[in-house]
Amino acid sequence: MAMGCRPVSMEDLPSHLVLEILSSGRLSAIDLLRLELTSRTFGGSQCLYPHKFRSLVDFAAYQLCVSHSVYAKMEGDAQSELFNRCGGKWKRVLRFLQSVEQSSDMVETSAGNMQITTGRYHTLLISNSSLYSCGASLCGVLGHGSETKQCVTFTRINFPSPVHVVQVSASHNHAAFVMQSGEVFTCGDNSSFCCGHKDTNRPIFRPRLVEALKGLPCKQVATGLNFTVFLTRQGRVYTCGANTHGQLGHGDTIDSPTPKMIEMPEGIGSIVQIAAGPNYVLAVTDNGLVYSFGSGSNFCLGHGEQHDEFQPRAIQKFKRQGIHVVRVSAGDEHAVALDSNGFVHTWGKGYCGALGHGDEIDKTTPELLTKLKSHLAVQVCARKRKTFFLCDNGSVYGCGWMSFGSLGFPDRGLSDKILSPRILDSLRDHHVSQISTGLYHTVVVTNRGQLFGFGDNERAQLGHDTLRCCLEPNEIFIQETADDMDRVTECL
């Protein structure tokens, strides 16, 4: 006689089993909130520390926070400050930590995983592991072959074999892509060997595997003007390309045709994030320190002087003040850092108000951006004379030079300068998850997977054929193609 199966509801499961599922690390803060609102099983305390946690979901969010790599490295006082800045809500703390983690990586949207990266006159997009590009194909940077001079819409890039792209970086005339396997492909101008292929100094028009990194799986790449930085999963940094200012970090000014590992100071821990300016590099360690090397012009290295640094050197101001940095962005003439409490620090050239302090005064070392102290920032993005700040509620603030409308403010008055961070009203109706800005154009990704671009579109870097200058955000659409022939017809 067959035994009947009785349906088991969520309410029948032991609370400790439900908690284990909730704190497995596969759910986002938004997922936890939705669960809490839909079932009393998740919304009740289940007698688990009822005086400390308001619900089972709240307890799960707490457990996910304390096990998070960033939160675990923070000092007790900093943890308390972050908790208070998040209104005493563990789900918001978790949202902050997860948003920061995704800001320089892939963001989860309702339309799938995405990452946007803007180069000088082009834009690269990862959408559900596929890679797309649009704009001007300087020296093959778009990755579509030597016959392609420009793509007026986002067009899929073909790789030699099926791959899943997880991270991308774009510079003036070359690009680098990290695969799920940890392999790295590059394309573009290799005259300085910045693509990591020593056997050619000709342009590489289609993505090509960096053979020198075989067996060294990477998690991030950062492209400078004529060099490239590679961060491995083990937290080690490799560089190749031009080295005029010591930007390769090897203690000399000798160019390197293939990636070579940087000897970091002993005992600094693993590197967790890298950022490359035109001729300098910023590197963040897992314990929140920032190291810089390369060109010291415009005080971008943050040491209070303009000397070139041939080897990684810690920015002492962060260290002395006990500031735990989690992310950095390297602009053309200034730099920005985000700390573990959602505060922003800027330094370098203050021209056009790019530093956000209400003036145009240079800052020789990192300076707290007091005008954003009441906001919880999750991403910072610096480029040519402008800076963007993304907050945990999805709002975007910008400051600096309004050239071509790339700041997103259509009301140009007597001045083209925004000296203090100002909210982008045109994006208020959207929850922005990631932002990237190029020389004269900017693109954002929303939590619904929508793309919006503004600024210069003279070379179709915003993925539109007819627009030229967009003073306000315009939605961008990906043109899905059926076969290679369709892709060719979209490229000029």
In 316-374, where do the E strands start and end?
Answer: 325-330, 334-339, 344-348, 363-368
Average pLDDT over residues 402-418: 83
CATH class assigned to 107-490: mainly beta
Q: Is the pLDDT of residue 365 over 90?
A: yes
pLDDT computed for residue 486 by the predictor = 43
User: Which amino acid, one-letter code, is at 490?
Assistant: E
pLDDT computed for residue 109 by the predictor = 92
Average pLDDT over residues 21-46: 69
pLDDT confidence bin for 483, thresholds 50/70/90? very low
Q: Is the pLDDT of residue 490 over 50?
A: no
pLDDT computed for residue 1 by the predictor = 45
Q: Which residues of 381-415 are buried (b: 16+ CB within 10 A; e: fewer)?
A: bbbbbbbbbbbbebbbbbbbbbbbbbbbbeeeeee
Q: Is the pLDDT of residue 417 over 70?
A: yes
Closest CA to 215 of 176, 255, 251, 259: 259
Closest CA to 227 of 169, 275, 293, 279: 279
Distance between CA atoms of residues 326 and 284, nearest Å: 7
Question: Which strand (E) or helix (H) includes residue 88?
Answer: none
Q: Is the pLDDT of residue 26 over 50?
A: yes
In 392-489, where do the E strands start and end?
Answer: 396-401, 417-423, 432-437, 441-446, 451-456, 469-476
Q: Is the pLDDT of residue 44 over 60?
A: no
Give the tens place of pLDDT for each residue, 296-355: 999 999 999 999 999 999 999 999 999 999 999 999 999 999 999 999 999 999 999 999
pLDDT computed for residue 125 by the predictor = 97
Which is higher by pLDDT, 251 or 43? 251
Q: Is the pTM of this model over 0.85?
A: yes
Closest CA to 400 of 449, 445, 350: 350
Within 10 Å of residue 468's Cβ, how many Cβ atoms? 12
pLDDT computed for residue 148 by the predictor = 87
pLDDT computed for residue 487 by the predictor = 40
Q: Is the pLDDT of residue 359 over 70?
A: yes
pLDDT computed for residue 10 by the predictor = 52
Distance between CA atoms of residues 463 and 270, nearest Å: 38
pLDDT computed for residue 201 by the predictor = 75
pLDDT computed for residue 138 by the predictor = 84
Q: Is the pLDDT of residue 276 over 70?
A: yes
Could you state, in order of their start, the residue ranges of all structural domains in the chain? 15-103, 107-490
pLDDT computed for residue 489 by the predictor = 40
Distance between CA atoms of residues 217 and 223, nearest Å: 17
Which is higher by pLDDT, 181 or 32? 181
Q: Which residues of 204-222 are buried (b: 16+ CB within 10 A; e: fewer)?
A: bbbbbbbebbeebbbbbbb
The set of residues, in sequence order, having a beta carbon less than 8 Å from that of 2 and lying 6+ positions away, is: none
The percentage of the chain sitting over the pLDDT mark of 70, rounded to a whole number, equals 89
Distance between CA atoms of residues 168 and 33, nearest Å: 31
**Segment of 41-50, 309-318, 472-481 carrying the highest mean pLDDT:** 309-318
Average pLDDT over residues 129-134: 95
Average pLDDT over residues 152-158: 94
pLDDT computed for residue 13 by the predictor = 54
Give the tens place of pLDDT for each residue, 171-208: 989 999 999 999 999 999 999 999 999 877 789 999 99
Distance between CA atoms of residues 165 and 180, nearest Å: 6
The set of residues, in sequence order, having a beta carbon less than 8 Å from that of 351 and lying 6+ positions away, is: 333, 360, 385, 401
Mean of per-residue pLDDT scores for the chain = 89
Give the tens place of pLDDT for each residue, 207-250: 999 999 999 999 999 999 999 999 999 999 999 999 999 999 99
Average pLDDT over residues 447-467: 93
Average pLDDT over residues 21-42: 72
pLDDT computed for residue 202 by the predictor = 84
pLDDT confidence bin for 25, thresholds 50/70/90? low
